[in-house]
Amino acid sequence: MSYIRESVPSHSMKRQTLSNVLGMKKIDRESRETVGAITSSDTRISCRNVNVFYGEKQAINDLSLDIGNNEVISFIGPSGCGKSTFLRTLNRMNDTIPSCKVEGEIKIDDKDIYHRDMDVVPLRAQVGMVFQKPNPFPKSIYDNVAYGPRIHGLAVNKTELDEIVQNSLIKAGLWEEVKDRLDEPGTGLSGGQQQRLCIARTIAVNPEVILMDEPCSALDPIATAKIEQLIAELKERFTIVIVTHSMQQAARVSQRTAYFHMGHLIEVGDTNQIFTNPVHPLTEDYITGRFG
Amino acid sequence: MIMATKEHTSRIFDGELNHLHYLVLEMAGLVITQLDHSMKALDERDIKLAEKIILRDREVNCHENKINEAALTILAKRSPVANDLRMVMSVSKIVVDLELIGDEVVKIAKLILTLFDSKSADPNLQLLRDIMKMGQMVSEMLEQAIRSFDTCDVKGAYTLVNEYWDYGDEYQAGIRRQLTFVIEDPRIISRSLNIFQIMKSLERCGDHARSIAEYLIFMIEGKNIRHQDAE
């Protein structure tokens, strides 16, 4: 009987046993096939067999994924795994890199965005982007938000433009803080306010999809919480794709989570499932902090 | 690059989880000892040992507090996910079962003091036979549960969950035998009630051992097999 009383193995032995068994999954660790449902019942963005190359180097390997309407999906993975590269293929931001080549099919609302007739200017209005570092233009708060509607001709007169600016700032949760100083420079705002200004600027052109590339990595916890709250509100109107290095943020804001590893989409699934019982051993290793 | 081993990048986190694991083993070891001692006290009519069991329950409670504190600290500091989260959650559930087993053992010890009260005659040996058998079985169940926890043996946990039903049958059979003794000799009715209570406590200990095995299955496989009828 006295297995317990006679020998209590050392701590390290114990954990090693625990790790080995807990890490044991039916899926082969070396497998690079995507685990989980890549399809969505209400698809807005459909990607099939996407390969992305930077010169000779392949950054994305045969990736297929659907992103649903009014869905928040997080892309997670270690640095260099291809999550930002994939994000940027969704509004053809990679076109600005001469060595970048994209293969496969990416459709937004059934339109192939890499079709030769596709104009990237309206595409980037339809698929807006928020970057890691807030990048307001060196103009007034008002002009920052009014810039997009002006160049896309979304307002016929000043009253309409005022309305767009006000609505965008309200949706971005910034209106109350800046309504009395719209003429002040956007660069004078705090980091969190600047990021919300960038979000207001993005939504001013009435996009359908918002891409966010680590939008909170330069912000303090309160500003981060405000952006996360904003994401929860924005998802009622937009499809949001967010790249984040914060596991907790992915767990908090998204309904689906996709894990990338060395250019492969390893696992995609319901966020609750990914963070409580991931299927692929690589996903589990990454989110529990066992590598990366 | 894929790491060959699956240790956390933060070794300190590994250490904290190891510590939690070790604390559970320590508490389980104490609870099993308490249970064994209760059977020994019954078998050898050892009142002093029964008294000692009652006093040592405080140690069991201390262990529970220590483990809860360690689990809380890990949750607060590390925000564990996936298998780490399941481990911390399962541990915090398992310690409740262990503590409740400790409480049942104390009840048994108090009943032993009543049974072997110097003013009364010794109970019939036949009456004790079923208790000893059940006590041994429950102790083995608990030990198997903890061994499975220690080595993350999900098969062992499943075996324990399935074996429970045999054990339940054994309990029912024991009750029937006790009733037969009472019908034969109604003078032993008050002692028999004590024996029934001890058997009931042992049955509850068995339930808790089974519960530990269920949490263990959740910890290892992420599968919740509890209260399946609720769905």
Chain A positions in Cβ-Cβ contact with residue B81 (cut-off 8 Å): 247, 251, 275-276, 287-288
Count Cβ–Cβ pairs < 8 Å, chain A vs chain B.
109
Q: In the predicted model, is pLDDT for residue B1 greater than 90?
A: no
The reply to whether A79 touches chain B by the CB within 8 Å rule is no
Which pLDDT value is given to residue B4? 35
Which pLDDT value is given to residue A1? 39
Q: In the predicted model, is pLDDT for residue B64 greater than 60?
A: yes
Task: Please name the member of B10, B81, B151 whose beta carbon is closest to the beta carbon of A247.
Answer: B81
Cβ B150–A17 below 8 Å, yes or no? yes
Total residue count of chain B as it appears in this document: 231
Q: Which long-range contacts (CB under 8 A, 24 or more apart) does B87-93 make?
A: B87/A18, B87/A22, B87/B17, B87/B20, B87/B21, B87/B219, B88/B17, B88/B20, B89/B218, B89/B219, B90/B215, B90/B216, B90/B218, B90/B219, B91/B20, B91/B21, B91/B24, B91/B67, B92/B67, B92/B68, B93/B211, B93/B215
Chain A positions in Cβ-Cβ contact with residue B36 (cut-off 8 Å): 1
How many angstroms away from the CA of A117 is the closest CA of chain B?
Answer: 40
The Cα–Cα gap between A11 and A15 comes to 6
Which pLDDT value is given to residue B118? 59
Q: In the predicted model, is pLDDT for residue B141 greater than 80?
A: yes
Can you state the percent helix, strand and coil of chain A, rounding each to 5?
40, 25, 35
Picking from A144, A284, A47, the residue whose alpha carbon sits closest to that of residue B3 is A284
How many angstroms away from the CA of A175 is the closest CA of chain B?
Answer: 34
The reply to whether B10 touches chain A by the CB within 8 Å rule is yes
The reply to whether A65 touches chain B by the CB within 8 Å rule is no
- Compute the average pLDDT of residues A179-194: 94
Cβ A8–B29 below 8 Å, yes or no? yes
> Per-residue confidence at A222, pLDDT binned at 50, 70, 90?
confident
Cβ A289–B26 below 8 Å, yes or no? no
> Would you say A3 and B151 are in contact if contact means Cβ atoms under 8 Å apart?
no
Enumerate the β-bridge partners of residue A43: A68
> Per-residue confidence at B121, pLDDT binned at 50, 70, 90?
low
- Compute the average pLDDT of residues B160-174: 74
Which pLDDT value is given to residue B128? 79
- Can you tell me whether residue A266 is helix, strand or coil? strand
Task: Please name the member of B6, B9, B81 whose beta carbon is closest to the beta carbon of A287.
Answer: B81
Chain B positions in Cβ-Cβ contact with residue A292 (cut-off 8 Å): 9
Which pLDDT value is given to residue B177? 82
- Compute the average pLDDT of residues A265-269: 96
Q: In the predicted model, is pLDDT for residue A8 greater than 70?
A: no
- Compute the average pLDDT of residues A117-144: 92
Q: In the predicted model, is pLDDT for residue B230 greater than 60?
A: yes
Tokens representing A67? Answer: 């992103």
* Percentage with pLDDT > 70 across chain B: 91
Task: Please name the member of B2, B86, B139 whose beta carbon is closest to the beta carbon of A276.
Answer: B86
Q: In the predicted model, is pLDDT for residue B3 greater than 50?
A: no
- Compute the average pLDDT of residues A83-108: 93
Q: Provide the chain A residues 212-271 that lie in CB contact (below 8 A) with chain B.
A: 247-248, 251
Beta strand pairing call for A72-76 and A239-243: parallel
pLDDT, tens digit, for every residue of A190-202? Answer: 999 999 999 999 9
> Would you say B28 and B146 are in contact if contact means Cβ atoms under 8 Å apart?
yes
Which pLDDT value is given to residue A17? 39
- Can you tell me whether residue A113 is helix, strand or coil? coil
Q: In the predicted model, is pLDDT for residue B66 greater than 90?
A: yes
For residue A254, which amino acid is it?
Answer: S
The reply to whether A14 touches chain B by the CB within 8 Å rule is yes
- Compute the average pLDDT of residues B44-56: 94
Q: Provide the chain B residues 22-51 that lie in CB contact (below 8 A) with chain A.
A: 22, 25-26, 28-29, 32-33, 36
How many angstroms away from the CA of A290 is the closest CA of chain B?
Answer: 4
pTM: 0.81
The total of other beta-carbon atoms located within 10 Å of residue A88's CB is: 21
Q: What is the dihedral of CA A236, A237, A240, A246, to 10 degrees?
A: -40
Chain B positions in Cβ-Cβ contact with residue A248 (cut-off 8 Å): 79
The beta-strand segments (E) located in chain A are 43-54, 57-68, 72-76, 100-108, 111-112, 127-130, 209-213, 239-243, 256-261, 264-270
pLDDT, tens digit, for every residue of A50-78? Answer: 999 999 999 999 999 999 999 999 999 99
Which pLDDT value is given to residue B115? 85
Q: What are φ and ψ of residue A111, in 5° steps? A: -105, 130
Which pLDDT value is given to residue B11? 85
Which pLDDT value is given to residue B119? 63
pLDDT, tens digit, for every residue of B71-102? Answer: 999 999 999 999 999 999 999 999 999 999 99
- Compute the average pLDDT of residues B214-225: 93
Which pLDDT value is given to residue B180? 87
How many angstroms away from the CA of B173 is the closest CA of chain A?
Answer: 25
Chain A positions in Cβ-Cβ contact with residue B150 (cut-off 8 Å): 9, 14, 17
Task: Please name the member of B2, B17, B28 whose beta carbon is closest to the beta carbon of A15.
Answer: B17
The reply to whether B11 touches chain A by the CB within 8 Å rule is no
Can you tell me the ipTM of this complex? 0.75
Is residue B219 exposed (0-12), middle (13-18) or buried (19+ Cβ within 10 Å)? buried
Q: Provide the chain B residues 156-215 that lie in CB contact (below 8 A) with chain A.
A: none
Q: What is the mean pLDDT of chain A?
A: 88
- Compute the average pLDDT of residues A239-248: 94
Cβ A14–B21 below 8 Å, yes or no? yes
Which of B152, B158, B223 to mutate against chain A (most A CBs within 10 Å)?
B152
B46 vs B129, more confident: B46
> Would you say A47 and A232 are in contact if contact means Cβ atoms under 8 Å apart?
no
* Percentage with pLDDT > 90 across chain A: 73
- Compute the average pLDDT of residues B154-178: 80
Which pLDDT value is given to residue B5? 44
- Compute the average pLDDT of residues A135-151: 94
Task: Please name the member of A4, A21, A290 whose beta carbon is closest to the beta carbon of B8.
Answer: A290
| Residue of chain B whose alpha carbon sits nearest to that of A286 | B8
Which pLDDT value is given to residue A14? 40
Q: In the predicted model, is pLDDT for residue A273 greater than 80?
A: yes
Q: In the predicted model, is pLDDT for residue B205 greater than 70?
A: yes
B4 vs B149, more confident: B149
- Compute the average pLDDT of residues A174-180: 94
